[in-house]
Structure 1
């Protein structure tokens, strides 16, 4: 049937991207869980204490920061008030710490996904780490100089730390993978419907002035907006398909990935840390403003780089997609 054939043509590229995400997510998730359970993360965390002191935080939070980097937000959040009592922290402290983990969390998975779109792994990882540190340092000095948010933190929610047993862990992983597929398919078909209805044009007209400040243009705007609101797994996941098709120029892909690294899943993640007592202006408004300025600076730098330098140092040329006929013959 023509309708089923059209649906399959739309679905097949998404299933290919989904399978790539599964191959990244499953081994890295299990590997980081093993590192956590065998105490490896805890053993190397003291080395991160000087970084915490640099941004005005207790050195003990180095373990929570490292856990966020390797495992993700939900691995770090329960550690915050376990390592340092809420009574010993100010709203400024929680806001600065939240900024750190919002910039750089779940890096093994998220950066592996970004790498598949073309930007080199080391470059974008360092951008997220140093971008987060720079923003946290600016925020710390601003809050210290003004005394703003110096009151004791008043969390609306204090999560309990706990390690699930292995069956619960794998069940949670399977549920995550299932919903990832559902959301990817919904986003793909939803984007097509939005395009056909003209709503996507209106939405992007509202967001375009913000994204254009960063140097991001055209189709890259749509996928960057998805990453901004829904997260890197979805924004960069869909970006892989467009980047490999040649629909988006490599420099635009790089800028989109850089921006998503600085600011992604801004609603869900910001609400999570605000429940811990972080200030919304610091973790949401300030973070997005920093992402715009930092990405605009990167755009200016990229404009000065030759193609040889760009593809040698920052971007891995993507494989050229096979023509449909060649794919069918290969099958």
Structure 2
């Protein structure tokens, strides 16, 4: 009887914790999703594409590829891929060019939603946009120059992905968004249970030991290990959602939260997102290893710059 009471209490506590994290995300994600849809219907994507078009020359891409990046930034990689496929049919793009565009899409996509989620953790919009858009452009320039210097990957790209034609109706759009939000709830529930099992079995400490050299390079405390792993493999929304909960309990300090969220902003969901870009014919050296090395370098530099600042100063100066 006692064990049953404990089990019921444990399940109740788990549900409350999961709902708290999920509801916090909902309050940000739902308005962001609606705002993005309205912006797109009003021509916001086309306007952003016009702004980005002149920058495409810096990275060796046709101006119209700015529309692909603009779409990915405002919506997601999947939608950006659909636009890319439609435009690429009329262009002769090389593996190098697709790889350059892929790095930009990977670093800066779904910014309204992921930026809003990052804001919940204390990372300001100013930091998110500068890091991801500026970082995406800088990495694209570096990758372009490397390919050009060695005359590498100049063969035509082979597109192995075909977009799925979907209905443009608002009803279908609403159903797909609702499905995504429901999926996030179950994912957060599963991840919360998984993390508690890792903690209970002692595996959490083993993971911290294995990743300690990596975390040491980033100057991040071991308490952020699990969140970092989840964000890298599953995505920023899942990682940030759990990070918010950890921050409220005081397990992770604000400086580590700032660095981890910035790192995950540059490189998250490395399995799914990388595979998507590879389907367009990109080079894995750029879209995976180049992205990871760039993110590591940026966060190492960032951690050194704020190393001597107190937590309070960090929050007021860097995360206003």
TM range (shorter): over 0.9
Deviation at 1:16, TM superposition (A): 1.1
**Could you report, residue by residue, the CA deviation over 1:95-116 in whole angstroms, capped at 9, with x for unpaired residues?**
0101001001111111111111
Aligned to 2:33: 29
Partner of 1:220: 224
Rounded Cα–Cα distance in structure 2 between residues aligned with 1:308 and 1:186: 33
- Partner of 1:156, secondary structure, is coil
> Which of 156, 163, 169 matches 1:165?
169
Residue of structure 1 aligned with 2:43, choices 39, 43, 53: 39
Shift of 1:205: 3.0
TM-superposition CA deviations, 1:272-328 (whole Å, max 9, x none): 010110111111111111111111111100114355642322135xxxxxxxxxxxx
The answer to whether structure 1 residue 186 and structure 2 residue 190 are counterparts is yes
Structure 2 residue ranges without an equivalent (≥5): none
Is 1:249 equivalent to 2:274 in the alignment?
no
State the match for 1:292 in structure 2.
296
What is the alpha-carbon root mean square deviation over aligned residues?
1.7
List gaps (5 residues or longer) in structure 1. Answer: 317-331
Within 5 Å, which residues of 2 pair with 1:1-331? 1-85=5-89, 87-159=91-163, 164-307=168-311, 309-316=313-320
Cα contact 1:67–1:75 (8 A) shared by 2? yes
The count of corresponding residues between Structure 1 and Structure 2 is: 316
1:213 Cα deviation after fit: 1.3
- Matches of 1:206 and 1:156, distance apart in 2: 36
CA distance in 1, matches of 2:228, 2:107: 16
Taking structure 1 as the reference length, what is the TM-score of the superposition?
0.91
Q: Is the 8 A contact 1:87 1:153 kept in 2?
A: no
Distance 1:294 1:43, change over 3 A: closer
- Deviant stretches of 4+, over 6 Å: none
| Other structure's SS at 2:282 match | coil
Counterpart in the other structure of 1:325: none
CA shift, 1:70, in A, is: 1.0
Evaluate the alpha carbon distance shift between residue 279 and residue 31 of structure 1 in structure 2; reply closer, same or farther with a 3 A threshold: same
User: Counterpart of 2:306 in 1: which secondary structure?
Assistant: helix
Distance 1:90 1:15 in 2: 47
